[in-house]
């Protein structure tokens, strides 16, 4: 894997944290899964 840095709005960060907590996953996992879904469209 490659490390990368992105800037999120406070709203995006808060929503991401909530989603990750609900799913029991790390925020980075949720981001990777979302990117994979976007690429597969």
Q: What is the pLDDT of residue 13?
A: 99
Domain span at 32: 10-40
Residue 29 inside a domain? The answer is yes
Residues 10-33: tens digit of each pLDDT:
999 999 999 999 999 999 999 999
For the record, the structure tokens of 25 come out as: 């996953």
pTM: 0.88
Number of structural domains in the chain = 1
Residue 8, C-beta contacts closer than 8 angstroms, at least 6 positions apart: 16
CB 8 within 8 A of CB 16: yes
Q: What is the pLDDT of residue 24?
A: 99
CB 30 within 8 A of CB 20: yes
Residue 31 inside a domain? The answer is yes
Residue 3 inside a domain? The answer is no
Q: What is the pLDDT of residue 33?
A: 98
């Amino acid at each position: 894997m490659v490390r990368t840095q992105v800037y999120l709005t406070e709203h995006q960060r808060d929503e991401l944290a909530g989603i990750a907590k609900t799913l029991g996953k790390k925020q980075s996992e949720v981001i990777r899964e979302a990117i994979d879904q976007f690429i597969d469209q």
